[in-house]
Amino acid sequence: MPIKNHAIPLLPLIVEPAELERHLGETNLLIVDLCKPDSYARHHIPGAIPLDYSHIIAHQGLVRGLLPDAAHLNTIFSALGVTSDTHVVAYDDEGGGKAGRLLWTLDVVGHDRISLLNGGIAAWFNAGHPCTDQPATPAPAAVETSATRRGIVDAAYILAHLDNSHCCLFDVRSPNEYNGLTQLSQRKGHIPGAVNLDWTFVMDPNRNLRLKPKAEIEQAFHALGVTPDKEIIVYCQTHHRSAYTYIVLKALGYPNVKGYHGSWSDWGNRLDTPLEGGA
C-alpha cells in the first residue's frame, strides 16, 4: 500500500469504516488490530499492526486489568511507533472492549489523537472495505509517556466520593453480575450507589455492533442519572467492557469521565470496601 506523504487530519473519536478507508496509507496514521491472532492472519485492514491485548494490562494477584507502569507502556508504544503526531485507530473482533482499552490507556497518558473503528473488523469486512492477509511491520519510535493519569481512578478515590452527588458510578457488567447472581470475585454485588446498564446495550446487533443512534443511547443513560453534568466513573470486572463505555461517553461529549482500573476484580476482592446486592 503506497504511503501518502501528508499528515492525516484529526479523525473523530468514533470513526466509520468508509471514513477510515479514505485515509489508509496516510502519514502518521497507525491502525492497531486487537483481534484474535487467527482472525488477523485471515484478514485485517491493510497496514494494521497486531497487538496482543495482554500487553496493555497488568495483574496483581486476584486483581486483573490494572494499568501497567510507565516503563512497560513506553516499551509497548515505542514498539508500535506511537509518537505525539500519531493518530491511533483501534479495532477488534469482540465488540470494542479490547480496542477501547487501548484507547483509554492512550488517553490516560495524555495521547489525544485516538479513534475507535465503529463496529470493528466485522463492520469493515462486511461492508466490503479492503482487507489483506499480509502482516504489517511497525516503525518503532522512542516514546516517553506523560504522567497525566487523567481518566483513571482507584478504590481509594471511589471510597472518598461515595457520598458525592456529583459523582455517578456506572456499572456496565451484566445485570446478573451487578445483582450478585453471578460471582467472579471473592465477594459479589456492586459498589453502593452504582447504576447498571450492560455495556452491549449501546451496540446495534443488526449493524455489526455499530453504536446505536446517539439520541437512543443518551436517553438510556440520562434515565439512569448518567448525565454530562456529573463526574462519571465507569467499571466492570477488569475495566475491559467499561473501557469501551468510557470511549462512548467521551464521544457523546461527556466532559468528566474516569475509568476504575481493576474494577470489580479489585473492589470485590478487598475486605475494606462496602457493597450492595451481594446477599
In the chain, pLDDT over 90 holds for what percent of residues? 88
Residues ≥6 apart with Cβ < 8 Å to 155: 260, 262, 266, 267, 270, 273
Least Cα distance to 29 among 52, 56, 53, 11 occurs for 11
Q: Are strands 203-204 and 210-211 parallel, antiparallel or unpaired?
A: antiparallel
Fold of 152-267: Oxidized Rhodanese; domain 1 (3.40.250)
**pLDDT at residue 3 greater than cutoff 90:** no
Mean pLDDT of 68-91: 94
Under 8 Å between Cβ of 268 and 187: yes
User: Do 4-126 and 152-267 share a fold?
Assistant: yes
- pLDDT value at residue 9: 62
- pLDDT value at residue 221: 98
Identify the residue whose cell numbers are 466520593. 161
Q: Which tens digits make up the pLDDT trace of 138-195?
A: 988 877 777 667 899 999 999 999 999 999 999 999 999 999 999 999 999 999 999 9
C-alpha span between 85 and 27 (Å, rounded): 9
Q: Where do the domains of the chain lie?
A: 4-126, 152-267
Residue 22 φ/ψ, nearest 5 degrees: -65, -20
Mean pLDDT of 12-18: 97
Please return the burial class of 43, using the count of CB atoms within 10 Å of its CB with bins 0-12, 13-18 and 19+: middle
Fold of 4-126: Oxidized Rhodanese; domain 1 (3.40.250)
Average pLDDT, the chain: 93
**pLDDT at residue 5 greater than cutoff 70:** no
pTM for this entry: 0.95
Mean pLDDT of 52-58: 97
Please return the burial class of 203, using the count of CB atoms within 10 Å of its CB with bins 0-12, 13-18 and 19+: buried
Mean pLDDT of 54-61: 97
**pLDDT at residue 1 greater than cutoff 50:** no
Q: Which tens digits make up the pLDDT trace of 230-269?
A: 999 999 999 999 999 999 999 999 999 999 999 999 999 9
**pLDDT at residue 31 greater than cutoff 70:** yes
**pLDDT at residue 51 greater than cutoff 60:** yes
**pLDDT at residue 86 greater than cutoff 60:** yes
Residue 265 φ/ψ, nearest 5 degrees: -65, -20
Catalytic annotation, residues: 236
**pLDDT at residue 8 greater than cutoff 70:** no
- pLDDT value at residue 2: 38
Identify the residue whose cell numbers are 447498571. 196
